[in-house]
Structure 1
């Protein structure tokens, strides 16, 4: 009530200034909320991507599929260098569940399975290339130490 009495005593120009100031404060607060929401969305997206690609072998598997195209299970074991069949199977299953690779059972005797990268996974190629570039620079920096 006191605030309303105070407002009635203000001039039109002062009321206009007060309104504009309040509007600017409101817009600023809305902007801050949007920035906070965007930050939260970005953090969630980053966590999703890290979880999706985490693990010692996923990048190696994807890189081999980029470089060599469709590959069979035994070829992936040979090119990955040190991965066990059990771990490779687990990593391939996770990559398939996340739509990064396709698994095809070939009608051969004995039955063979081949894996290929999906169009969705192609979007990870710049990430892998950036990580390779960073890794090379980091390795040189550490060696120069």
Structure 2
């Protein structure tokens, strides 16, 4: 399993970051690797609890289903249910800094289920982590929380 994390400061509050991530149906509009994202089940508050995603991994596509958990607006975490990968788990954490910005941290562990040389895996994982947080930052700073 390859694990990593990346943090960035986002101009916006934790609630805006949290709300953007709850809008699964629009992921493909602002996350470059996401081909499709569909909510299969919702919790009592209407948030996606079981979500299917299809990614373009460049070397191949991958489909997986994750179960999401929430601690609004500070944390969203997920666990692997099924799909083309062997495993994926992770979380987003949001820490408001008191100056109108939020420190967003994305942490993920992925086992693709097929061998990837260590150096290649680290390079791809680091790029994916940076890109995921940068795309969230750009989305929040450009549009704010979804209406």
TM exceeds 0.5? no
Larger RCO (CA within 8 A; separation ≥ 6): 2
Query: Which has more helix, going by share of residues?
Result: 1
Structure 2 length as normaliser, TM-score? 0.27
Query: Which has more strand, going by share of residues?
Result: 2
